[in-house]
Amino acid sequence: MIDGFAVELRQVVKKFGQVTAVDKVDLQIRDGEFFSMLGPSGCGKTTSLRMIAGFEMPTSGQVFIGGEPQGYLPPYQRPVNTVFQHYALFPHMSVYQNIAFGMEMQKVDKNEIQQRVGETLEMVHLSGMDNRRPKQLSGGQQQRVALARALVNRPKVLLLDEPLGALDLKLRKAMQVELKILQDQVGITFIYVTHDQEEALAMSDRIAVMNQGKVHQLGTPEEIYEAPANRFVADFIGESNFVPGVMQKMGPPAEISVTGTEQPIAVEWLEDGINAGDAVVVSVRPEKIRIHPMGQAPTYPAMCRLSGQVEKVIYLGTDTRYLVRLNEESAVVVRLQNIISGGGHFNEGEKVDIRWDSAHARVFKE
């Protein structure tokens, strides 16, 4: 591998008629990485994956696998294997025949096929199921067969297209852990497509957040959650408050006047291209906000403070959520962990102060 990337997309564009599904995407996926492409349906993540697999050809740009440009190579000449969303197991073949299929096509020696199928079945905990038909297996078992069928070929890269989408929640959680362990075991690069942000956060080394054919942010789960690059990412990953305001002073320290309040608040991070006087939103995660009885919030430097009234209290077991109304236009969700049993620190209708560290706020274009 010349450049050290398992897969690289360079200026890749895919158009279906008038619709641009993937718009000048650049991605560099490292060797051995668990890489996720995350986004809502229609964001171009599946199309990107299909271009790596060779099921779709880019309108322009180039896909590299192991440093080699793939051009118009058909799927059967690419060193990748895919786990499909609905498994796509061959219904007219047994589990054994399904798993052996790829090796038979590559003319692998019969004895080796037998040995490798056995090993792989063991790896996915399906030993002894050789002669079953896919129809006789549960959803979770079919999923494992699909995994085994791909992994047994020892591809450079494993492509997974929402592989857990068809499973129920509990099984999905279990399979997430199992997939992660499996990846550590085999050491193959995984490219994982999902619309489930929790899944992506839990499993990935790095995530590409996509929307409308473009990569909006590329980073580790922590980077993406703690430092979203724009409003879409902040909104799509986890939960965020968006408080509208106007850019007052570019700074440093930069200041924003929140709509409906007089006192400006300090902010540290601004999205590129914001100018004084622009309408903006301040984005803060609910768990980063503290809540105090009116007038009792301590003041520190770099601390933003706003007043409001508790409108709704929702008890959620591990934590309680307070909807705090700042004014007619905006309200903020605050999440407090229930460290002391009994919850209910604040009541509906109570006047409160909320505060957050200005380092935790991100300012995006309206």
Partner 1 sequence: MSAIIPETRASRMAHLKQRISNISLNFYGILGYLFLYTPIVIVVIFSFNDSRSTAQWAGFTTHWYVDMITDSQIIISLWNSLFVAIVSTIISTIIGTLAAMGMERYRFRGQLGMDALLYLPVIIPDIAMAIMLLLFFNLSGIGFEVWNVNIFGINLAVPYSVIIGHVAFNIAFVAIVVRARLSQMDRTLEEAAQDLYANTWETFRKVTLPMMMPGILGGALLAFTLSLDDFAITFFTSGAGFNTLPVRVFGMIKKGVTPKINAISTLMLAMSLILISFSLISRKRGGEDQSIEMF
Nearer to partner 1, 4 or 74 (CB): 74
Strand partners, 80: 157
Of 240, 227, 339, nearest in space to 289 by CA: 240
Nearer to partner 1, 81 or 358 (CB): 81
Q: How far is the CB of 65 from partner 1 (least distance, A)?
A: 13
Q: What letter does residue 33 receive in the DSSP assignment?
A: -
Judged by CB under 8 A, the stretch of 3-11, 99-107, 227-235, 292-300 that binds partner 1 is 99-107
* Among positions 4, 16, 26, 105, the unique one binding partner 1 when judged by CB under 8 A: 105
The DSSP bridge pattern shows strands 189-194 and 34-38 to be parallel
Length of the chain: 366
Query: Measured at the alpha carbon of residue 76, what is the angle toward residues 73 and 82, in degrees to the nearest 5?
Result: 110
* Among positions 120, 143, 153, 194, the unique one binding partner 1 when judged by CB under 8 A: 153
Nearer to partner 1, 77 or 299 (CB): 77
* Among positions 10, 55, 321, 350, the unique one binding partner 1 when judged by CB under 8 A: 55
| SS3 state at 156 | coil
Residue 136 touches partner 1, criterion: CB under 8 A? no
The whole-angstrom separation of Cα 5 and Cα 1 is 7
Nearer to partner 1, 46 or 248 (CB): 46
Residue 86 touches partner 1, criterion: CB under 8 A? yes
Of 319, 313, 321, nearest in space to 348 by CA: 313
Residue 139 touches partner 1, criterion: CB under 8 A? no
* Among positions 11, 60, 62, 106, the unique one binding partner 1 when judged by CB under 8 A: 106
Indicate the residue type of 349. Answer: G
Instruction: Give the x/- contact pattern for partner 1 in 4-43, rule: CB under 8 A.
Output: ----------------------------------------
Nearer to partner 1, 146 or 247 (CB): 146
- What is the total count of residues that contact partner 1 (CB under 8 A)? 25
The whole-angstrom separation of Cα 267 and Cα 278 is 15
* Among positions 116, 149, 335, 360, the unique one binding partner 1 when judged by CB under 8 A: 149
Q: By the 8 A CB rule, do 344 and 284 touch?
A: no
The whole-angstrom separation of Cα 103 and Cα 201 is 34
User: Could you tell me where the DSSP H helices lie in the chain?
Assistant: 45-53, 95-105, 110-123, 139-151, 169-186, 197-203, 221-226, 231-236
Residue 120 touches partner 1, criterion: CB under 8 A? no
* Among positions 3, 92, 222, 340, the unique one binding partner 1 when judged by CB under 8 A: 92
Residue 45 touches partner 1, criterion: CB under 8 A? no
The whole-angstrom separation of Cα 220 and Cα 238 is 14
Residue 269 touches partner 1, criterion: CB under 8 A? no
Handedness of CA 154, 163, 146, 124 (dihedral sign): positive
The whole-angstrom separation of Cα 208 and Cα 39 is 8
* Among positions 4, 26, 90, 294, the unique one binding partner 1 when judged by CB under 8 A: 90
**Residue ranges in contact with partner 1 by CB under 8 A:** 53-55, 74-76, 80-82, 84-86, 88-92, 101-102, 105-106, 135, 149-150, 153
